Structure 1
Amino acid sequence: MSKIRITKQFTFETGHALYGYDGKCKNVHGHSYKLSVTVIGSPISDSNNVKFGMVIDFTDLKKIVKEEVVDQFDHATVFNKNTPHIELAKELQNRNHHVILVNYQPTSENMVIDFAERITKRLPENISLFSLKLQETDSSFAEWYASDNN
């Protein structure tokens, strides 16, 4: 059976700051992220299955990515919990802001690794995450490929 890749795209707004960085991104700022999620699998060949001909229903893929990434990160501010930004994070949380504390510097590169782990654990057994592309700006993005991470 042929393997087919399908892609679904998502957008969300997230703020972050890079502690210790030597440029403007040390300041709290935000991005309109675009996330492309590509999975690979064989189309369902059982003609009695309501998902006949699909690798995965786009609606099912959307549910996974929304729950694991978009709903978590949209309109949140992300800080590395192991930096002095923790003080700012606590102040924002006390004022009812949505803050996410992570174990990594919240760069696009590290975020895309985090997203790959979150999505992979939710995919059905016969579907694999092929790649992710996280666009921070129109001209800057990070990509994750399963083939690079085996």
Structure 2
Amino acid sequence: MIQQIYPTVDHPYSYELNKDFTFDAAHSIPSERAGQCQQVHGHTYFVNITIAGDELDDTGFLINFATVKKLIHSRFDHTNLNDHGELFSPLDADRFPTTEVVARTIYEIVQQHLDGAANRPQCLQVFLRETPSSYVVYRPKRRGRAV
């Protein structure tokens, strides 16, 4: 794994966890303005997920690293993102599988899992690199402002 430097999130939490991993997936963007990206093509996506909180769970983890990876890798690796109709839509630009939307969707999946945890950690940031020179950072807004 390449050592990366990520944008940091200012937060008040005691613990911050970052998990890096990759997954391989195809997609296409259903818009004429997407140019060549309108055609089905693939990427090795590189993901960094930042999770923070003040309390550890009953195993001493904020969340198990393996759980974070499994939530995303098991779902998306070696798939066509467009085939995930419960997450992406060819009819709604806000749900096209662009890098921006995939990053936001990863956040939603992770945060939904965290919402069920007794120690209530928070997903603060998803860094998603689509190519060596192109990436997106998604940070949810909280109480009218970014975290």
Residue of structure 2 in register with 1:65 after alignment? 69
8 Å CA contact 1:12–1:75 kept in 2: the answer is yes
Once residues 140 and 49 of structure 2 are traced to their aligned partners in structure 1, the CA distance between those partners, rounded to angstroms, is 12
Identity between Structure 1 and Structure 2 (%):
25
Q: Do structure 1's residue 21 and structure 2's residue 24 form an aligned pair?
A: no
Once residues 68 and 107 of structure 2 are traced to their aligned partners in structure 1, the CA distance between those partners, rounded to angstroms, is 12
**SS of the counterpart of 2:81?**
strand
Q: CA RMSD in A?
A: 2.4
Residue of structure 2 in register with 1:146 after alignment? 140
Q: Do structure 1's residue 135 and structure 2's residue 126 form an aligned pair?
A: no
Matching residue's letter, 1:135: R
Residue of structure 1 in register with 2:77 after alignment? 74
Matching residue's letter, 2:51: V
Listed one character per residue, the Cα deviations across residues 13-63 of structure 1 (whole Å, up to 9, x for unaligned) are 00001112331111110000011011011254x9xx652xx533xxx2322
8 Å CA contact 1:5–1:130 kept in 2: the answer is no
Residue of structure 2 in register with 1:35 after alignment? 47
**SS of the counterpart of 2:32?**
coil
8 Å CA contact 2:19–2:68 kept in 1: the answer is no
List alignment gaps of at least 5 residues for structure 2. Answer: 1-11, 90-94
**SS of the counterpart of 1:18?**
coil
Q: How many residues align?
A: 122
Q: Tell me: CA distance 1:117–1:50, structure 2 relative to 1, closer, same or farther (3 Å).
A: closer
Once residues 146 and 97 of structure 2 are traced to their aligned partners in structure 1, the CA distance between those partners, rounded to angstroms, is 20
Q: If you compute each CA radius of gyration, which structure gives the higher value, 1 or 2? A: 1
1:105 to 88, 93, 96: 96
Q: Do structure 1's residue 55 and structure 2's residue 62 form an aligned pair?
A: yes
* TM-score between the two structures when normalised by the length of structure 1: 0.70
Q: Tell me: CA distance 1:113–1:3, structure 2 relative to 1, closer, same or farther (3 Å).
A: same
Q: Do structure 1's residue 116 and structure 2's residue 107 form an aligned pair?
A: yes
* TM-score between the two structures when normalised by the length of structure 2: 0.72
8 Å CA contact 1:65–1:119 kept in 2: the answer is no
8 Å CA contact 2:27–2:81 kept in 1: the answer is yes
Once residues 124 and 136 of structure 2 are traced to their aligned partners in structure 1, the CA distance between those partners, rounded to angstroms, is 14
Alignment of 1:86-97 (within 5 A): none
8 Å CA contact 1:64–1:122 kept in 2: the answer is no
